[in-house]
A and B are shown apart, each in its own frame.
Chain A
Amino acid sequence: MIRPVGFLLRTWLRPRLVGRSFAYLVVGSCLAMLVYGVVQSLTLTAAQQQQRDFGSSQSMSYDNVALGSLGPDDLARTRSAVQDGLPGSAVFLQTTQLRPDVLPPNFVQAPVDTVTFIEGADYRQAFGDQVGLLRGRWAGATGEVTVSERILDAIGGDDTLTIYSGRKTLKVVGVYQDDFAADSYLLFAGEGTFESIRPASVDKSFQPVYAQVRVLMPTSAASQVDEALGILADQLPTLPDGQGTRPENLSGNLAVRGTNQDGDSAAFGREGDVIVSFGPPLILLAGAAFLAAGQQRRRHEEVVHLLHRLGGRPSRVLLSRTASYSIVALMSLAAGTVVSIVVLLFARATALPAVAGQPLAPLDIANRQVAVLVAVGALTYVVATAAGDGGLGPRWASAVGSKIPRHLIRRTAGVLAVLSAIRVGDRVETALAGPGDARYAAYAMVAGFCLLAPDFLRVTMWLTSRSSLPLEVASRLMQANLPRFGAAVSLGVMTLGIPVALLVHLDSEQGLTASARYGIVPEGQMWVQSSDTSRDIATVAAVIGDTPGATEGVAFRTLTRIDDQGVVAEAARFSNIPGSGSYSTAVLTVDSASDLARALPSLTRLEDAARVLNEGGVVDFTSHDDDDQRLITYGQAVPQETETPSLPTIQVEASPQVQLQFAGVLLTSTAKGLDLPIGPVSRVIFPDMDAATITSATRALQDAGYDPEFGQYAQTPPEPVLPVNAVAFLLVMTLGSIIILTIAISEQARAVSTSAKRLLALGAPPRWLMKLNSAQAVQMVGVSFTAGLTSGLMAVIVSSHAYPALVIHWVPIGAVTGTVLVLSTAAAGMALRFNRVRLTEAFLFA
């Protein structure tokens, strides 16, 4: 038994039978691993992130203190106590809540660019070599600051800067090199500076200003964290009511830090920050594996047929064949992985550091994601090969595939993928589930198109075949090889669909982040709102309302309740909205329908909305198709839900910015009648404010002693900048797909050259074959291209509701599309050059 199987195995493993498949799998796995490895290299691990945020990687502990609550000697006393207990440690204060008032509004209203203040004699020790002085000197005395060049630019090169809170002016005494905090604005202040700043009184500040006391300990003192906590808790002033105790806070902070550090170091494909996903490399590898299988399936079936006829026992033939698949899969995937590691190491030694602008993350090959990649590649290949072409050889040789209606399965899966993409991408679902699900919808759409691609090709061939003989013959040749050509076309779809979908998602995700901060207030309006609902919005609004030229404000209340601890919490929402997502669940009340029309003129069907509101109904922004809404009221601790009867409801289209903040509106009188919990005024909207009025209103707020952040107005978001790992992901992914597509097309085309030889022998002239060749190339590339682009656009459309606005950069999309078109046409053209087919003598025995 062993010996014949060994012999058969060697037969199967002949390079002629498996060489191509092997090459495919090597290329496919190498590319998928490269995508993974490059992205991973460029994604900071939790520890690296921490080091970047806090300078040294020493153990660290911290706690909040309200600015102004520290006494004159508190920091110095805490420092000496800590340093007595933990020699070599550094103690300093840090806050991101102080802002120079000359900075542009994006530092203030939309704090995308946060300014970090670090205060204390110890900061130099803590940051060590990571910051270098460029000119001037380090801040030493109270009220002095040393700034980065970026801050110096932002404040216009001035030698003073004024802080909003407390209107304190600080003196710039030096400039340091700011490579260290490339994406934040860091400045160092002399000891005692924070204490000298008296922030606006709590009721007049937009939010309470906190600083953190940080203790950096030498790594050797890691075990003494508890001790450090004890000292901090003893020395720092006690916390205000309702904020717990210091020891609790400290150990809570420590726990958070611990989880961060233990967190999955490979951030590849992790939900959240970067929208790179595991899906595309999986599709890439699966595609390559499928093609690999296609390369040998038919030939293997012929060999099975032959061996069977020569007396090979089915069990042995099949056993050896299956074993050969597994060997090929394992060896090629291992080879691909090794090659990718070598390439990666080389890239990490040369090109990647320059791109990264940050330390590279350690290369982590032995983890679950790599295992999943390898497993999917191997499984796809083995199953696809074993499934057989059917029709050739004895029935048992393709037992797995012969009876299964494979086209039916493929089509069903494709249609289901498209339908589920539409369903998941459906407005309400996505609005609540956020961009995560939208992304799945997008990939499902692309995958669905990939699965249906062979049918698109079939239909195209059917439609075109009648127009000329070359087209007819071309169609017949391709039809007979439909699985192969279909696979190539599927790859083409993937090559275009994924980058287009990804690009739009990446940009829109960035756009979402930006608009969540910038796009809150429509152009020409001024909104008074507070991050803390307990502020008295009404008095702030009065200051703005008194500004000459200001319009009359429209006040909105929320359905909220104040709990025992004085915290305002949402207490009622629409019945058909499940948990929270990136869009709001807040239902507002407004005093009259005309107020709503004035405050939010961009809403559709305003007249009908007014009628419904006056009838005691609700205006619904969620675009839920369901019938009339009800409102659920719930208690604080226990969910004692009560439900109103259904109310007349009108669906109104609101801008995504509005959707981000409100789910709907009803009249305050209606809410009262229904006994709903009505909170204090949470927003006052001043419509039709011109720029000059907005400026003077802002000044009026400042003069009245308020944080000007109370009065918000429209900001133009900056152009989104993609994180470097996302860009790398996109690039490697796209290049990888293009490579696979190019190989696939030329490979499939080569399969047709046998037919070319036959035709030539019958007297079909090369120029005629050229026509046939072009017809095939045009059909293949054309269908891939059209379906690919369509799938990308459909993917974008079904998921578009996840974003307030789609950010589409046409240049990179055009570049990808152009590259795919040029390369695939070239590949198809080169491979199909029938006129150059050399009639070798091998033909005689073909």
Chain B
Amino acid sequence: MPPDQEPEIKIECSDLSKTYRTANEHVTALADVSLSVTSGEFVCIYGASGSGKSTLLHTIAGLSDPDSGNVQVDDRDVFQLTRNERADLRRERVGVIFQDHNLMAELNVLENVALPLRVGGTRASEAKTLAHQALSRLGIDNLAVRSPSELSGGQRQRVGIARVLASGQDAILADEPTGALDSTNSEALFILLKALSADGACVVVATHDPLARQFATRTHTMIDGRIAMEKVAGR
């Protein structure tokens, strides 16, 4: 389904806090983070490594529970949902591009991309067509039958992205999506994400790639778990 027919999405985080307790120290990954994004926005979250970007994205996607605060997607509290419903939410509304790609080593590229669709009940042939389309958009349709272990880091990253494209969720949370890409491919990716947001998707990118700034409608900076600065694009 083309994105413009999708309903609007609104994600609202309020006062998210999260502290990791290890044997000898407490690490504050999130400290009273509040953030709100809606369809059509391209939000960029900058921050040094270890500042809490991944934790934030995972919390929004319902993958990790905060110590306090809540996340609302379209006025539904994510952490009030059952685990089944949270999974449905990730598959249908909030897609994640993982920093570590999260590919199934046992499946080939095409199957990896088609997997969420199939899990959602899409027929195999249709899922396959959508997966091929997504791979073509990223220029890696030729890799369809390879297994993830036979890909370079950048190729793997693009497979992870293609998977979100194929699923067509309303919101895309991208965790360092250009970490393994060269500048040409990075730019192409940001153009693609920008196009998606222009079509009505809600895009949140955690990155430290300066290139992203040009595409963002809004940028935040994270320092030690805090959202420190907000800068609205338009200069």
Q: Known contacts A755-B106, A841-B64; decide if A765 and B58 are in contact (CB<8 Å).
A: no
**Complex Cα–Cα for A763 and B120 (A):** 9
Name the residue of chain A whose CB is nearest to the CB of B118.
A469
**Complex Cα–Cα for A760 and B58 (A):** 12
Which of A759, A762, A841, A846 meets B100, CB within 8 Å? A846
Q: Secondary structure at chain A's binding surface: helix, strand, loop or mixed?
A: helix
Residues of A within 8 Å of B85, CB to CB, are 765
Asked whether B88 lies within 8 Å of A763 as measured between CB atoms, the reply is yes
Residues of A within 8 Å of B118, CB to CB, are 469
Is A758 interfacial (CB 8 A cutoff)? Answer: yes
Q: Secondary structure at chain B's binding surface: helix, strand, loop or mixed?
A: helix
Residues of B within 8 Å of A762, CB to CB, are 90-91, 102, 115-116, 119, 163
Write out, one digit per residue, whether chain B residues 105-141 have a CB within 8 A of any chain A CB (1) or not (0).
Answer: 1110001000110111000000000000000000000
Write out, one digit per residue, whether chain A residues 822-843 have a CB within 8 A of any chain B CB (1) or not (0).
Answer: 0000000000000100010101
- Range for the number of chain B residues in contact with chain A: 20 to 34
Is B63 interfacial (CB 8 A cutoff)? Answer: yes
Is A247 interfacial (CB 8 A cutoff)? Answer: no
Is A480 interfacial (CB 8 A cutoff)? Answer: yes
Name the residue of chain A whose CB is nearest to the CB of B167.
A763
Residues of A within 8 Å of B64, CB to CB, are 839, 841, 843-844
Is B33 interfacial (CB 8 A cutoff)? Answer: no
**Complex Cα–Cα for A759 and B92 (A):** 14
Residues of A within 8 Å of B119, CB to CB, are 469, 759, 762-765, 768
Is B70 interfacial (CB 8 A cutoff)? Answer: no
**Complex Cα–Cα for A469 and B111 (A):** 12
Q: Known contacts A476-B107, A758-B104; decide if A844 and B83 are in contact (CB<8 Å).
A: no
**Complex Cα–Cα for A469 and B120 (A):** 10
Asked whether B90 lies within 8 Å of A761 as measured between CB atoms, the reply is yes
Is B55 interfacial (CB 8 A cutoff)? Answer: yes
Name the residue of chain B whose CB is nearest to the CB of A763.
B91
Residues of B within 8 Å of A843, CB to CB, are 63-64
Asked whether B91 lies within 8 Å of A758 as measured between CB atoms, the reply is no
Q: Known contacts A469-B118, A762-B163, A763-B119; decide if A480 and B87 are in contact (CB<8 Å).
A: no
| Min distance, Cβ B8 to any Cβ of chain A, angstroms | 20
Asked whether B84 lies within 8 Å of A767 as measured between CB atoms, the reply is yes
Residues of A within 8 Å of B84, CB to CB, are 765-767
Is A551 interfacial (CB 8 A cutoff)? Answer: no
Which of A479, A763, A845 meets B87, CB within 8 Å? A763
Within 8 A of A (CB), among B141-199: 163, 167
Q: Known contacts A841-B64, A844-B55, A844-B58; decide if A764 and B107 are in contact (CB<8 Å).
A: no
Is A477 interfacial (CB 8 A cutoff)? Answer: yes
Within 8 A of B (CB), among A787-846: 835, 839, 841, 843-846
Q: Known contacts A762-B116, A841-B64; decide if A480 and B58 are in contact (CB<8 Å).
A: no
Asked whether B115 lies within 8 Å of A477 as measured between CB atoms, the reply is no
Asked whether A760 lies within 8 Å of B106 as measured between CB atoms, the reply is no
Residues of A within 8 Å of B104, CB to CB, are 476-477, 755, 758-759
Between A761, A762, A763, the greatest number of chain B beta carbons within 10 A of the residue's beta carbon is seen for A763
Residues of B within 8 Å of A473, CB to CB, are 107, 115
| Min distance, Cβ A704 to any Cβ of chain B, angstroms | 85
| Min distance, Cβ A103 to any Cβ of chain B, angstroms | 71
**Complex Cα–Cα for A833 and B98 (A):** 24
Between A477, A762, A764, A845, the greatest number of chain B beta carbons within 10 A of the residue's beta carbon is seen for A762
Is B54 interfacial (CB 8 A cutoff)? Answer: yes
Which of A477, A759, A835, A845 meets B83, CB within 8 Å? A835
Asked whether B55 lies within 8 Å of A760 as measured between CB atoms, the reply is no
Q: Known contacts A469-B118, A755-B104; decide if A765 and B83 are in contact (CB<8 Å).
A: yes
Write out, one digit per residue, whether chain A residues 762-776 have a CB within 8 A of any chain B CB (1) or not (0).
Answer: 111111100000000
Write out, one digit per residue, whether chain A residues 739-770 have a CB within 8 A of any chain B CB (1) or not (0).
Answer: 00000000000000001001111111111100
Residues of A within 8 Å of B203, CB to CB, are none
Is B96 interfacial (CB 8 A cutoff)? Answer: yes
Name the residue of chain B whose CB is nearest to the CB of A769.
B87
Name the residue of chain B whose CB is nearest to the CB of A772.
B119
Q: Which residues of B contact A (CB under 8 A)?
A: 20, 54-55, 58, 61, 63-64, 83-85, 87-92, 95-96, 98, 100, 102-107, 111, 115-116, 118-120, 163, 167
Closest 8 CB pairs of A and B: A763-B91, A765-B87, A763-B90, A480-B106, A765-B84, A764-B119, A476-B106, A762-B116
